[in-house]
């Protein structure tokens, strides 16, 4: 269980997993596309994750919870001056991608881009400094980005701005280039990120949904919702 974390673990989480507080973000020059002829949705077998596959924890008052009557999880944004909340898969698996239906309900009231929402796969859920791939929304500009982390590098590219709606989000590592991750929204290919310092295919990964809040005028209504969580 990670319901309670020591100071050392929180420090590691903050500096290893916070998407822009400790690393200078880079971005590719790839233009996001919808339904290019060269991309089709992969048909790999999925491994469904139940609600109880996740430990829910927080450092202040965000209070993640299972959504009654569904297989979903909600991770609200807390409003303490430093507030981290998460739904963290208790036991990992060998995986090359994730998919979930849900939303990143964000805003523009955070003091900086260090406040964020993220859903991702990671191969290090203690120091948070390993290979990661997923989606992150910064709460100072309500911008959703694809991201990869690994080998000391952190790359992002904007997918959308101001979209708090429900979608099916998917990212998948390439079997022919282990440094590449392809991103999809609602079954449409959007973009790819390549980090030659990272390895994303067939890692032993953990599925995580988390919020970080480091101050701002209001966090009202900001939260992650995840349903039908799967890895493959």
Q: How far apart are CA 134 and CA 157, in angstroms?
A: 11
* Residue 54: closest CA among 199, 231, 232: 231
Class of domain 24-40+49-231: mainly beta
Q: How far apart are CA 77 and CA 85, in angstroms?
A: 7
* Residue 95: closest CA among 8, 206, 14, 224: 206
**Token duo for residue 13:** 């989480």
Q: How far is CA 110 from CA 119, 121, 199, in A?
A: 19, 25, 32
User: What's the pTM?
Assistant: 0.83
* Residue 194: closest CA among 172, 175, 177, 211: 177
Strands 223-231 and 47-48: antiparallel
What is the pLDDT tens value at each position of the chain, 232 positions in all? 333 233 333 333 333 444 433 333 343 333 333 333 334 444 444 689 999 999 999 999 989 999 999 999 999 999 999 999 999 999 999 999 999 999 999 999 999 999 999 999 999 999 999 999 999 999 999 999 999 999 999 999 999 999 999 999 999 999 999 999 999 999 999 999 999 999 999 999 999 999 999 999 999 999 999 999 999 9
């Amino acid at each position: 269980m990670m319901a309670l974390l020591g100071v050392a673990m929180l420090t590691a989480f903050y500096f290893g997993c916070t998407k822009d507080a400790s690393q200078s973000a880079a971005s590719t020059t790839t233009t996001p596309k919808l339904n290019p002829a060269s991309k089709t949705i992969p048909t790999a077998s999925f491994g469904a994750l139940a609600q109880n596959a996740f430990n829910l924890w927080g450092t202040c008052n965000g209070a993640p919870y299972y959504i009654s009557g569904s297989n979903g999880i909600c991770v609200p944004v807390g409003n303490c001056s430093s507030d981290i909340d998460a739904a963290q898969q208790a036991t990992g698996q060998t995986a090359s991608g994730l998919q979930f239906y849900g939303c990143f309900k964000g805003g523009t009231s955070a003091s900086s881009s260090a406040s964020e929402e993220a859903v991702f796969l990671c191969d290090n859920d203690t120091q948070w400094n390993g290979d990661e791939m997923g989606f992150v929304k910064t709460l100072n500009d309500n911008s959703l980005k694809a991201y990869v982390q690994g080998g000391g590098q952190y790359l992002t590219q904007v997918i959308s701005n101001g979209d708090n709606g429900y979608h099916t989000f998917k990212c998948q590592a390439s079997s022919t280039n282990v440094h590449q991750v392809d991103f999809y929204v609602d079954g449409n290919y959007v973009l790819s990120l390549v980090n030659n310092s990272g390895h994303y295919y067939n890692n032993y990964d953990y599925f995580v949904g988390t919020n970080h809040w480091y101050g701002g005028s209001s966090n009202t209504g900001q939260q992650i919702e995840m349903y039908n969580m799967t890895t493959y």
